[in-house]
Structure 1
Amino acid sequence: MEKKISSSVLLAIIASGVMTFSGVTVETSMNITFPTLIKEFGIGLSVVQWMTTIYLLVLSSIIPLSRFLKARFKMSTLFIVANLLFLAGLVVDAFAPSFIFLLLGRVIQGLGTGIALPLMFNIILENVPQERLGVMMGFGSLITAAASAVGPTFGGIIVNTLGWRFIFIILMPVLLISLLMGIFSIPHLRKNELSSERFDLKSFLLIVATFAGLIIGIDTISTSSFWNPMVLIPIVIGLVALFTFIRVQNHSAQPLLRVHILKNTAYAKYVVAFFINQLIILGLAFVVPNYVQLINHSSSSVAGLLLLPGAVIGAVVSPFSGALLDRFGAKKPILSGIAVMVVSLLLLSIFSSHLANSVIMILYSLIMIGVGLAYGNIMTKGLSYLSGELQADGNAIITTVQQFAGAIGTVIVATIITKVGAIGGGNGLLGYTAALIFLLVISIIQLITIKTTKE
């Protein structure tokens, strides 16, 4: 007999999901505000981009702590702290008198979202019956995917009608509703055993150095040569910090994050596949609207609307694909989804010299159906290779990888378009073709990675 999910568990997932949705919505809607913020605060593009960069840096630094936080604090405490931090960040940004205060608000929001993102999936993993796990992990993926879909549209409408500050103001009552739902439901969840392990400050500083170096260095590549010291030095610092962090964790009696789980080849392969999936999503989110505007000479509104059907369809497919996992296992929906992505990207690459907007919308929608079939199931299947006590570490690593892909995905694709276009004598179309081929190649690598992983 199929076990039911209790109302408290459902309410707790929705409450944490609303936080996650709000965090991703703000993140994806902020890019729309950049021209307005540049004009209002008298700053340049390189400065305003710190709105996203500093948020992703904080997010990437906090998420790896989720296993430690879960072991030290009650789930209800983490939820309330995350929610209040996010609310405080929204208030600071909504009434920011200067750009410095805007950055401060983004830092506070990053702290809250960094706790909230892994929390939702930890609640699902620990409280949902095994036979319903695929559906609920798909529901969790739906939340983040839907937020990514509506974020740019939401941001554009609010900026053009009410003003950018209302992006933060509108989300305040949403967070308050989430807080009330969580306070009511989370105390009824399965209690996690608390430990007294100490916080490893050295390891945390290495995490910060890793992501600060890699994110800042890779972000600079788009405007500089790879051999520029402003690119090389941060990347080297990030890599040295990363290898030092791994070494410290492997020799620690109480590691901040059990990175040794990456020695589990099957799990590691699914982490790589998840990283590639996220790169493809974000790469296309940059390539498609820019191609539509710069090559097809359509308006920004048309470019934004072309993305919306695919994003919505992909989001809706996510829980359905989780049900397929529960019934048929993970590999069938995952491989089917990736195959759809590969074929669609192949068609985009072949016909990249002349793609009508209608064709782009259809192929992009097909790709997002493929993403919907694969995305949440890759995460669920990857974590299934780990024992219960290691799943919090596995969730932390996968969620960190997701955010890191978010931080560098757009930069990589933009750099390919710019550099290849310059080599081709300013031929922008050549750059877009190269970017699509890059996405095609990594999608094939993703397919091979999953195909060669043993059950």
Structure 2
Amino acid sequence: METKKFHVNLAVLATGMMAFAGVLIETAMNVTFPTLIEQFGITTSQVQWVTTIYLLMISIVVPLSSYLMKNYSKRQLFIASSLFFVAGVLVDAFAFSFTVLLVGRLLQGVATGIALPLMFNIILTKVPIKKRGMMIGIGNLTTSIAPAMGPTYGGILTTTYDWTYIYKLLIPVLIVSTVIGLYAIPKEEQQKTDTINMKAALYLSVMFTGLLFFFSHLESPIGWISLAIGLVGGFLFYGSNKQKELLNLSVFSNKMFTVYLISFLVYQILLLGVSFVLPNFIQIVSDVPASRAGVMMFPGALTGALFAPISGKILDKLGFKKPIGIGILFAVAGWLSLIFVIQTGNMTLITMSHVIFMIGVGLSYSNVMTVGLSAIDKSLQDDGNAVFSTLQQFMGAVSTSFVAIIVGLFQKSSSDYQQGTSTGSKVALICLFVLLVISGLSVFKTFTKKEIQQ
């Protein structure tokens, strides 16, 4: 048996590079949508599948992570993730049709769905407790900085070269991460200690896919047929999951957990929604190049990333009410400002409103997850984390589909494509604002309760 030392820092770096690349592409592609619509002759509701299919695959793979960790070695999972990712990036780097582009995105979603849990599993199982907090912070920073860089990265490359360079420039990065991972992660014997409920996994996939198709085709019979299929899948998943749990649904019996989970998911919906609306609006309505649209998103995304670790320290010192409460107020103010200024097309006002919203996100987004998981018994926190991670990706996909269909409907119904885009963008922001207000009020109601586990 190989006794090679497990190089933890390098292993985290290798898996972190893949996770970073996955999240980077997710936001980088949003600024390319107008270009893709023109190049492939597709609609707004179709182009959103570039993001949706990626998030759908992550939401399907993440619930399987517990089974994968128990039955396959870290090295095996790393190799699988690397192969999926390199294959997906190569496919998209030379995609000659929209269908081929989606195939590449699907492969990348599988890769990221493996890499993200693997990175944190390595930290939790290999890093000493006294250094674990710092390493988890580095891991979270990896996935929070990438969304800030994505729109700028994608916008500059799309304007300077073409959108395929978003993928071409990642090929050497992935090769380097693969080499580092193969060096750092040793061969380890892994006994298969668990079986997977394949029926539950299949039904969960059917449920997610059906619901996503519903949100993508609200205006057609296909959407309602998909909804029926999704609901049947959900019913069958619930029954099968009780026989052998793929996801522990008992966590939903805790009201505090559920309220903060919903708040977390609403933030995810808003983040993915605004990253779709703003770059597309500014390019189509204001005729701004993709590079400037990407730069417009950078200050807000960077602000959110920088506030996230600070908000955790505030929570540790002052409790959860102040950072979350103030964060909700900033988020509401910023989003309301976006609704009022978006149709002016003024990039400065839009950027400032986005920054205000992202201050709120930075103060409260990660903290609502912390409070939600702290509200349940420690023995259930792994299960709660799996629920958070799974639904986070799924609701991000739902948000992109929902916003795209609203904008698309107004584009079709208006004789002026730019005017339709403008009106549809504002209506989409208003719809999401209602969700923010409802979830914010629900969180404020919990401030008088004492259900948080210490």
Deviation at 1:277, TM superposition (A): 0.5
Shift of 1:315: 1.4
SS class of match (2:348): helix
Cα contact 1:65–1:396 (8 A) shared by 2: no
Shift of 1:336: 2.2
Kindly state the Cα deviation for residue 238 of structure 1 after the two structures are TM-superposed: 0.9
User: 2:403 — aligned with what?
Assistant: 413
1:376 partner letter: S
Aligned partners of 1:104 and 1:354: how far apart in 2? 38
Contact 1:138/1:377 (<8 A) preserved: no
Shift of 1:316: 2.0
Q: Does 1:365 align with 2:363?
A: no
Instruction: For 1:90, give the aligned amino acid.
Output: V
Q: Say if 2:327 and 2:360, in contact at 8 Å, map to a contact too.
A: yes
1:381 matched to 2:379? The reply is no
Q: How many Å separate the matches in 2 of 1:302 and 1:282?
A: 19
Look up the match of 1:284: 274
Q: Deviation string for 1:42-71 (max 9, x for gaps)?
A: 653476654444333322221221122223
* Equivalent in the alignment of 1:217: 214
How far the C-alpha of 1:365 sits from its partner, in A, is 0.7
Letter in 1 for 2:444: K
Does the Cα contact within 8 Å between 1:135 and 1:322 map onto a contact in 2? no
Q: Any idea what SS the aligned residue of 1:257 has?
A: coil
Amino acid at match of 2:264: F
- CA RMSD after TM alignment: 3.6
- CA offsets 1:145-172 (integer angstroms, 9 cap, x no match): 3222222322233234444433223212
Q: Percent identity?
A: 41
- Report the Cα distance in structure 2 between the residues aligned to 1:48 and 1:421, rounded to whole angstroms: 14
Q: Which amino acid aligns with 1:80?
A: I
Which of 240, 255, 268 aligns to 1:248? It is 240
In 1, the alpha carbon distance for the partners of 2:81 and 2:182 equals 12
Alignment of 1:343 with 2:333, yes or no, is yes
AA aligned to 1:333 is: P
User: Residue 135 of structure 1 contacts residue 320 of structure 1 at CA under 8 Å; is this kept in 2?
Assistant: no
Contact 1:269–1:450, Cα closer than 8 Å, also in 2: yes
Residue of structure 1 equivalent to 2:224: 232
Deviation at 1:198, TM superposition (A): 1.9
Counterpart check, 1:303 vs 2:285: no
TM-superposed CA distance for 1:407, in Å, is 1.1
**Distance in 1 between the 2:408 and 2:35 partners?**
25
| Contact residue 31 and residue 279 of structure 2 kept, 8 A | no
Counterparts of 1:265 and 1:68, CA distance in 2: 28
Corresponding letter in the other structure for 1:54: I
Aligned counterparts of 1:332 and 1:136: Cα–Cα separation in 2:
26
Distance 1:378 1:135 in 2: 20
Matching residue of 2:438 = 445
Q: Deviations over 1:167-216 (max 9, x none)?
A: 2232122223333444455569xx99966222222112102211111111
Separation (CA, whole Å) in 2 of partners of 1:29 and 1:63: 22
Partners of 1:158 and 1:22 lie apart in 2 by 15
Preserved CA contact (<8 Å) 2:30 2:275: no
Which region of structure 1 is more displaced relative to structure 2, 58-67 or 344-353? Answer: 344-353
TM-score (norm 1): 0.82
Given the alignment of the two structures, is residue 435 of structure 1 paired with residue 433 of structure 2, yes or no?
A: no
Aligned to 1:271: 261
- Contact kept? 1:280, 1:439, Cα under 8 Å: yes
* Structure 2 unpaired stretches of 5+: 1-5
Secondary structure of 1:452's counterpart equals helix
What does residue 3 of structure 1 align with? Answer: none
Deviation at 1:294, TM superposition (A): 5.7
Q: Deviations over 1:5-32 (max 9, x none)?
A: xx95554443322211111222223344
Distance 1:124 1:307 in 2: 31
- TM-score, normalising length: structure 2: 0.82
* Distance change in 2, residues 1:298/1:32 (3 Å): closer
Larger deviation, residues 63-72 vs 43-52 = 43-52
Query: What is the aligned counterpart of 1:395 among 385, 403, 414?
Result: 385
Please list, as runs of the form range in 1=range in 2, the aligned pairs for 1:127-138 lying within 5 A after superposition: 137-138=136-137
- Cα distance in 2 between the residues matched to 1:68 and 1:120: 16
- The CA distance in 2 between the partners of 1:209 and 1:386, in whole Å, is 29
Shift of 1:351: 5.6
| 1:18 maps to 2:27 | no
Q: Is the 8 A contact 1:310 1:365 kept in 2?
A: yes
Alpha-carbon contact 2:30-2:279 (below 8 Å) kept: no
Compared CA separation, residues 352 and 94, structure 1 to 2 (3 A)? closer
Alpha-carbon offset, residue 244 of structure 1: 2.1
* Contact 1:134/1:380 (8 A) holds in 2: no
Q: For 2:189 and 2:376, how far apart are their aligned partners in 1?
A: 18
Structure 2 counterpart of 1:4 = none
State the secondary structure of the residue aligned to 1:281: helix
The answer to whether the Cα contact below 8 Å between 1:25 and 1:151 also exists between their aligned partners in 2 is yes
Q: Distance in 2 between matches of 1:272 and 1:192?
A: 40
Separation (CA, whole Å) in 1 of partners of 2:442 and 2:399: 19
Deviation at 1:131, TM superposition (A): 8.1
